[in-house]
């Protein structure tokens, strides 16, 4: 079950069109001055780096060490943010006279952050330890470095703990009164580089800073927007051989504009791939490369690793889904999964996919011996870091922010973590429901889906967290055609129609929905362009679909077939089930646990009008959360979900149907309406008489095919099943094989008795 939630409300800003003013207002911009600054970013709007607490003291310390050419080690992180931050500050330290090296921990052997073994190894090599994108929680590690004679500067952007590490200098935008607390780790390091070496020097590094800012998914507002805006321009013409080679890997020519999407889905994953699967050394070497040939070789290596990472992610996601299929998420508000052999570098990506799909905060952990380590991703507005703070009694280590976090714990504490994490999320919800919400900016009609609209929207780029790509609601458009495309038929190519307007659309990852699409749909889309054979056209990228006014395609033959299949399935059930009456006017509350079984189109459509946010399903259905679902012309054995209440909305043909429901959904309460006229007519269509059975048997004995009968497919199927029960025929791969003739009464067949 999902709700479509509008983000942008009607708003006016002098000098701006209403649609743009509404979009800007939804992003926190409500004055003409703020709108001007947002749409026309200026480097001069960045805050002086000295405003960042600790920067003046760090500059003084570093320059003093640089004057005597001391040695320094930059201790970073293995993701894009940490790697870019490391190179930024490494270049700055060298520029002021320090002999600097970079140390990136091995994710698989050392884990995230400053570890004591590394500190002991590095202490003899350097007088200064400077952390980037980590260190703010490393109380013991920093204390050890000080004991071993190192000066320590911590630069980080993660949530500071109550007890801060005893560093010489702490630099974190969340400490002090810095006006913009949402810098990433690289931007924090960039501010220090600026203070050390000047603005011109820092501007030569803004390509790295923008790359990290976009990859780390910090809000692209305020200073981050300025960094991303100018950094993407610098990235397009970057002189760094490593970035040139990386761009070539994703098909970007020198000077070609680089979008935030190309960073998020092209450049950043390749830089991250090494640290996820092996080590981050190749990615670091790429960013430091001076030789174009070496850079090309490294970029190819990272490209191959990224392909392997994608395959590893696909495998892990399939295994995670298999684990989820074995448990119920009914009334759960969190997902916690752990498995031996999962790659610690990919668990965060898997957690993100699950959190997005199910709308639940998710922790995915890899078990190794007696401990497990992993990552979490938030959903539904939950502060993930706070939820882990509330679960800290069982955690060995953790850190992160509202949207993402990492954690380690011993295996024996995993059950308790599940309890604490669930309780922490429930406490944050304060009684509000937690189901998937898809946010859009405003309604849009198909006649507004034009190239001109795309050009206007581009004025708001770059897009990312805090400034999401504008999305729009197309209401009640007709799905004129749909076909699965791409490798493994993973995607869906759609033609959306509204009156005389038509738009080609693509829905990534929705290929499995081809057979169950409604005739009309509400679609949340991005308006984009598509270039094919030199021709540029506008298209919609579909982010979410739900049924429109007409949720189902009426199909009386399919209704009858589904009924016959359910009746056949329920014959073996002898369970006695109490069935409670249900009236159409009875109100269904909540959002989980109820399956509304509709045999007939009119019943299903009436319920959809009454409960438009309920899932509408026609075909196979699997939902570990058991969201309220309206099921039409689908046999119950095709449904796999933890429903605790099953309502037969057209009434029961037999009480054995109730037993079938309990067999399919153990422990479920069964309710049934009085039989509707539509179900009465459906039953008449598949009813069999003695004469019917004699006629069909004579045909088969005369070697005439069953399809020669002027009956519906459902009635022919019912007759074949009855003959099989009477042991007059054998069903083999949907074909009938006559068995030796014997005298019998059709009433010997339980199915016949039901149908008659």
Tens of pLDDT, residue by residue over 331-361, are 899 999 999 999 988 999 999 999 999 999 9
Confidence of residue 29 (pLDDT cuts 50, 70, 90): very high
pLDDT exceeds 90 at position 328: no
Confidence of residue 732 (pLDDT cuts 50, 70, 90): confident
pLDDT of the residue at 209: 98
pLDDT of the residue at 734: 65
For residue 378, give Cα distances in angstroms to 322, 353, 357, 364, 381.
Answer: 21, 11, 12, 12, 7
pLDDT exceeds 90 at position 113: no
Tokens encoding 641: 């979900």
Domain 327-434, classified CATH 3.60.10.10, yes or no: no
CA distance 296 to 246: 8
Q: Mapping DSSP to helix (H, G, I), strand (E, B) and coil, where does residue 581 land? A: strand
Strands (E), 378-446: 397-400, 404-410, 436-440, 442-443
What mean pLDDT comes out for the span 678-697?
A: 89
pLDDT exceeds 70 at position 513: yes
Domain ranges of the chain: 2-41, 49-236, 238-318, 327-434, 439-547, 556-677, 687-755
Burial of 654 (0-12, 13-18, 19+ CB in 10 A): middle
pLDDT of the residue at 742: 87
CA distance 190 to 200: 12
Beta partners for 671? 580, 647
Confidence of residue 701 (pLDDT cuts 50, 70, 90): confident
How many C-beta atoms surround the C-beta of residue 578 within 10 A? 8
Confidence of residue 597 (pLDDT cuts 50, 70, 90): very high
- Is this structure's pTM higher than 0.75? yes
pLDDT of the residue at 460: 93
CA 494 to chain centre: 21
Q: Considering the chain, what is the average pLDDT of its residues?
A: 93
Q: Mapping DSSP to helix (H, G, I), strand (E, B) and coil, where does residue 530 land? A: strand
Only one residue has tokens 């799905």, namely 479
Percent of the chain having pLDDT more than 70?
A: 100
What mean pLDDT comes out for the span 319-338?
A: 92
Q: Selecting from 1.10.3210, 1.20.120, 3.40.50, 2.20.28, what CATH number does the domain 556-677 have? A: 3.40.50
Of residues 488 and 503, more confidence is placed in 503
pLDDT exceeds 80 at position 574: no
Tokens encoding 54: 């600790």
Contacts for 507 with CB less than 8 Å, ≥ 6 apart: 491, 492, 494, 513, 541, 542, 545
pLDDT exceeds 80 at position 709: no
Tokens encoding 296: 């090309």
What mean pLDDT comes out for the span 361-372?
A: 95
What is the CATH architecture of 439-547?
A: Beta Barrel (2.40)
pLDDT in tens, 633-667: 999 999 998 999 999 999 998 888 999 999 999 99
What mean pLDDT comes out for the span 730-753?
A: 84
Per-residue buried b or exposed e for 91-110, using 16+ beta carbons within 10 Å of the residue's own CB: bbbeebebbbebbbbebbee
What mean pLDDT comes out for the span 730-747?
A: 83
DSSP element (H, E) containing 117? helix 116-122
CA distance 336 to 358: 13
pLDDT in tens, 245-270: 999 999 999 899 999 999 999 999 99
Q: Mapping DSSP to helix (H, G, I), strand (E, B) and coil, where does residue 279 land? A: coil
Domains 327-434 and 556-677 belong to one CATH topology? no
Domain 49-236, classified CATH 2.40.30.10, yes or no: no
């Amino acid at each position: 079950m999902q709700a479509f939630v509008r983000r942008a409300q009607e708003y006016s800003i002098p000098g701006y069109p209403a649609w743009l003013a509404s979009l800007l207002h939804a992003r926190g911009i409500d004055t003409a001055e703020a709108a001007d600054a947002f749409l026309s970013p200026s480097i001069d709007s960045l805050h002086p780096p000295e405003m960042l607490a600790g920067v003046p003291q760090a500059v003084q310390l570093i320059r003093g060490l640089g004057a005597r050419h001391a040695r320094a080690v930059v201790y970073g992180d293995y993701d894009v943010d940490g790697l870019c931050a490391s190179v930024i500050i490494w270049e700055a330290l060298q520029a002021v006279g320090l002999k600097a090296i970079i140390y990136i921990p091995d994710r698989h052997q050392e884990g995230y952050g400053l570890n004591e073994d590394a500190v002991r190894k590095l202490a003899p090599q350097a007088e200064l330890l400077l952390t980037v994108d980590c260190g703010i929680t490393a109380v013991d590690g920093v204390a050890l470095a000080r004991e071993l004679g190192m000066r320590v500067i911590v630069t980080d952007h993660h949530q500071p703990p109550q007890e801060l590490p005893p560093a010489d200098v702490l630099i974190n935008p969340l400490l002090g009164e810095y006006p913009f607390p949402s810098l990433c780790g690289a931007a924090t390091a960039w501010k220090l580089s600026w203070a050390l070496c000047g603005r011109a020097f820092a501007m030569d590094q803004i390509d790295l800073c923008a790359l990290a800012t976009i990859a780390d998914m910090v809000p692209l507002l305020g200073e981050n927007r300025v960094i991303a805006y100018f950094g993407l321009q610098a990235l397009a013409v970057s002189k760094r051989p490593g970035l040139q080679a990386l761009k070539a890997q994703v098909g970007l020519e020198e000077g070609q504009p680089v979008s935030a999407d190309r960073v998020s889905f092209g450049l950043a994953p390749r830089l991250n791939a090494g640290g996820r699967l092996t080590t981050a050394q190749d990615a670091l070497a790429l960013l430091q490369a001076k030789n174009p040939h070496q850079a090309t070789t490294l970029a190819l290596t990272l490209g191959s690793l990224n392909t392997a990472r994608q395959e590893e992610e696909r495998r892990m996601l399939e295994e995670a889904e298999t684990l989820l299929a074995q448990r119920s998420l009914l009334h759960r508000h969190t997902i916690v999964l752990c498995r031996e052999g999962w790659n610690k570098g990919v668990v965060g990506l898997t957690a993100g996919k699950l959190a997005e799909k199910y709308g639940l905060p998710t922790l995915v952990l890899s078990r190794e011996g007696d401990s497990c380590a992993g990552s979490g991703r938030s959903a539904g507005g939950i502060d993930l870091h706070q939820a882990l703070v509330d679960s800290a009694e069982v955690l060995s280590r953790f850190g992160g922010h509202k949207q993402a976090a990492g954690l380690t714990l011993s295996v024996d504490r995993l059950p308790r973590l599940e309890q604490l994490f669930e309780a922490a999320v429930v406490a944050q919800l304060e009684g509000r429901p937690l189901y998937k919400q898809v946010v859009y900016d405003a309604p849009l009609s198909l006649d507004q889906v034009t190239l001109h609209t795309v050009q206007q929207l581009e004025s708001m780029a770059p897009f990312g967290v805090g400034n999401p790509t504008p999305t729009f609601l197309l209401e009640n458009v007709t799905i004129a055609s749909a076909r699965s495309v791409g490798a493994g038929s993973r995607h869906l190519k759609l033609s959306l129609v509204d009156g005389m307007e038509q738009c080609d659309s693509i829905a990534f990852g929705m290929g499995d929905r081809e057979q169950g699409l409604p005739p009309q749909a509400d679609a949340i889309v991005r308006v984009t362009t598509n270039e094919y054979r030199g021709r540029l056209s506008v298209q919609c990228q579909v982010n979410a679909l739900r049924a429109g006014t007409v949720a189902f395609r009426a199909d009386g033959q399919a209704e009858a077939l589904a009924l016959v299949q359910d009746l056949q399935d329920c014959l073996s059930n002898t369970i006695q089930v109490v069935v409670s009456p249900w009236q159409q006017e009875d109100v269904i509350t909540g959002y989980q646990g109820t399956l509304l079984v509709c045999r007939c189109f009119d019943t299903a459509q009436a319920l959809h009008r009454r409960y438009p946010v309920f899932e509408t399903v026609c075909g196979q259905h699997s939902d570990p959360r058991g969201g309220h679902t309206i099921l039409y012309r689908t046999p119950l054995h095709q449904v796999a979900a933890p429903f605790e209440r099953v309502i037969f909305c057209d009434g029961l043909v037999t009480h054995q149907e109730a037993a079938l429901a309990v067999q399919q959904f153990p422990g479920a309460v069964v309710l049934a309406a009085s039989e509707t006229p539509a179900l009465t007519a459906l039953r008449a269509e598949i009813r069999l008489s003695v004469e019917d059975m004699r006629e069909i048997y004579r045909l088969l004995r005369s070697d005439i095919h069953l399809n020669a009968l002027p009956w519906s497919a459902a009635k022919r199927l019912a007759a074949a099943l009855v003959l099989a029960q009477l042991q007059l025929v054998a069903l083999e791969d949907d074909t009938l094989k006559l068995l030796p003739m014997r005298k019998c009464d059709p009433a010997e067949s339980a199915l016949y008795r039901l149908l008659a």
